């Protein structure tokens, strides 16, 4: 008769291998889920950083339009506001990590901000038509960016009326534009 004393040892070894494999598979799944959550959190952080940088650049451009009258100094100061706000670097990070919808929305905001920069560089005052034309495009674009971010984060859509507005461009409430237009 053959010696069968090795069967319990082999069974224990096979059981240990199965348990180890199960632990490894579980760990890999957990790591993937954690990486996915980390990527989502990184994207959200980038979206918020971008919105803050855009806000800071816009505020600084308004300050330049108010305070700098020399055309050469104004051109340099307007360009510097975008550098100081770090909008360029954050935009690059966003373009590399964002969904296509968010990348499109962010580019619209960025180029609307460039429109404001160009109007300020050209010497427009805050009460001037050139600034206001650029501003209203910007206001509409930043709200579309916010809405795209909300959609990506599975939040309920938000409409202008939810915040007591007629539309996102703010033209209807603008004392400079003086337009009276119905809801769009």
3-state secondary structure string, 24-93? HHHHHHHHHHHHHHHHHHHHHHHHHHHHHHHHHHHHHHHHHHHHCCCHHHHHHHHHHHHHHCCHHHHHHH
pLDDT of residue 58: 97
Q: DSSP assignment, residue 155?
A: P
Q: In the structure, what pLDDT confidence band is assigned to residue 174 with cuts at 50, 70 and 90?
A: confident
Q: Is the dihedral of CA 43, 45, 47, 50 positive or negative?
A: negative
pLDDT of residue 181: 41
- Give the model confidence (pLDDT) of 92-140 as tens digits: 999 999 999 999 999 999 999 999 999 999 999 998 889 989 999 999 9
Nearest to 107 by CA among 93, 96, 91, 118: 91
Neighbours of 151 (CB within 10 A): 16
Burial class (CB in 10 A: 0-12, 13-18, 19+), 128: middle
What pTM was estimated for this model as a whole? 0.76
pLDDT of residue 49: 95
pLDDT of residue 30: 64
Q: In the structure, what pLDDT confidence band is assigned to residue 182 with cuts at 50, 70 and 90?
A: very low
Neighbours of 52 (CB within 10 A): 14
- Give the model confidence (pLDDT) of 38-75 as tens digits: 788 888 899 999 999 999 999 999 999 999 999 999 99
Dihedral, 59, 62, 66, 70 alpha carbons, nearest 10: 110
Which one has a higher pLDDT value, 21 or 150?
Answer: 150
Q: Say yes or no to pLDDT of 31 above 90.
A: no
- Give the model confidence (pLDDT) of 2-23 as tens digits: 666 777 777 777 777 777 777 7
Report the distance separating Cα 177 and Cα 159, nearest Å: 22
Q: DSSP assignment, residue 129?
A: H
Q: DSSP assignment, residue 163?
A: G
């Amino acid at each position: 008769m053959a010696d069968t004393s090795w069967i319990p040892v082999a069974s224990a070894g096979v059981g240990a291998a199965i348990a180890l494999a199960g632990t490894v598979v579980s760990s890999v799944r957990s790591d993937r889920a954690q990486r996915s959550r980390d990527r989502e959190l990184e994207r959200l952080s980038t979206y918020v950083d971008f919105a803050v940088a855009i806000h800071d650049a816009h505020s600084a451009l308004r300050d330049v339009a108010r305070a700098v009258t020399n055309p050469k100094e104004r051109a340099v100061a307007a360009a510097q506001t975008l550098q100081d706000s770090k909008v360029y670097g954050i935009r690059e990070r966003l373009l590399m990590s964002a969904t296509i919808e968010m990348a499109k929305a962010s580019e619209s905001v960025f180029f609307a901000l460039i429109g404001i920069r160009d109007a300020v560089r050209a010497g427009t005052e805050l009460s001037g038509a050139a600034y206001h034309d650029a501003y209203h495009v910007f206001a509409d674009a930043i709200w579309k960016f916010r809405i795209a971010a909300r959609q990506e984060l599975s939040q309920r859509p938000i409409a202008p009326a939810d915040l007591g507005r007629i539309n996102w461009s703010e033209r209807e409430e603008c004392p400079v534009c003086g337009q009276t237009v119905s809801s769009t």
